[in-house]
Amino acid sequence: PLMSDTYDLIVIGGGTGGYPAAIRAGQLGMKAVCINAWLNRDNKPAYGGTCLNAGCIPSKALLESSEMFHRAGHELATHGVKVNAPTLDLVAMQARKSKITSSLTGGIGALFKANGVTGLEGTARLMGKGKVEYTSHSGEKKVLEGKHIIVATGSEPVELKIAPFDHKQICDSWDALDFTEVPGRLGIIGAGVIGVELGSVWARLGSKVTILEALPTFLPMVDQTIAKDAQRQFTKQGLDIRLGAKVISAKSNGKEAVVEYESEGAKKSETFDKLIVAVGRRPYTKGLNAEGVGLELDPRGFVKVDKNYKTNLAGVYATGDVIGGLMLAHKAIEEGVALVEQLHGEKTEVNYNAVPSVIYTTPEVAWVGLTEEQAKAAGHEVKIGASPFAANGRAKALEAATGSVKVISDAKTDRILGVHMIGPYVSEILQSVVVALEFGATTADLQLTMHGHPTLAEALHEAYLAVDGRAIHA
Binding site for ligand FAD (CB under 6 A): 12-18, 35-38, 49-51, 55-56, 59, 123-124, 152-155, 173, 194, 284, 287-288, 320-322, 327-330, 332
Q: 213: annotated binding-site residue? A: yes
| Residue 303: CB minimum distance to ligand FAD, A | 11
Calpha distance 32→21 (Å, rounded): 9
Give first-to-last CA distance, the chain, whole Å.
Answer: 75
Three-class secondary structure of residue 45 per DSSP: strand
Nearest-5° Cα angle at 111, 110 to 117: 100
The maximal CA–CA distance of the chain, rounded, in angstroms, is 76
Q: Which is nearer to ligand FAD, 56 or 375 (CB)?
A: 56
Q: Which is nearer to ligand FAD, 106 or 452 (CB)?
A: 106
User: Could you say which of 74, 137, 167, 453 is catalytic?
Assistant: 453
| Residue 156: CB minimum distance to ligand FAD, A | 7
Q: Report the length, in residues, of the chain.
A: 474
Q: 315: annotated binding-site residue? A: no
Alpha helices in 309-392 (DSSP H): 329-343, 372-377
List of residues 6+ apart from 95 with CB closer than 8 A: none
Q: 273: annotated binding-site residue? A: no
Alpha helices in 271-313 (DSSP H): 290-293
Confirm whether 70 is a catalytic residue. Answer: no
Q: 329: annotated binding-site residue? A: yes
| Residue 407: CB minimum distance to ligand FAD, A | 23
Q: Which is nearer to ligand FAD, 360 or 464 (CB)?
A: 360
Give the number of other Cβ atoms within 10 Å of residue 431's Cβ: 13
| Residue 419: CB minimum distance to ligand FAD, A | 18
Q: 89: annotated binding-site residue? A: no
Calpha distance 349→355 (Å, rounded): 13
Q: 296: annotated binding-site residue? A: no
Q: Which is nearer to ligand FAD, 369 or 388 (CB)?
A: 369
| Residue 302: CB minimum distance to ligand FAD, A | 11
CA 426 to chain centre: 15
Q: Which is nearer to ligand FAD, 117 or 467 (CB)?
A: 117
Calpha distance 417→275 (Å, rounded): 38
Q: 197: annotated binding-site residue? A: yes
Q: Are 279 and 163 contacting, i.e. CB atoms less than 8 angstroms apart?
A: no
| Residue 159: CB minimum distance to ligand FAD, A | 13
Calpha distance 151→322 (Å, rounded): 8
Q: Are 267 and 178 contacting, i.e. CB atoms less than 8 angstroms apart?
A: no
Q: Which is nearer to ligand FAD, 73 or 174 (CB)?
A: 174
Q: Which amino acid is at 437?
A: L
What secondary structure does DSSP assign to 374-393, as a single string?
HHHHTT--EEEEEEEGGG-H
Catalytic residue IDs: 453
Numbered residues of the known binding site: 60, 153-155, 190-197, 213, 280, 321, 327-330
Numbered residues of the known binding site for NAD(+): 190-197, 213, 280
Numbered residues of the known binding site for FAD: 60, 153-155, 321, 327-330
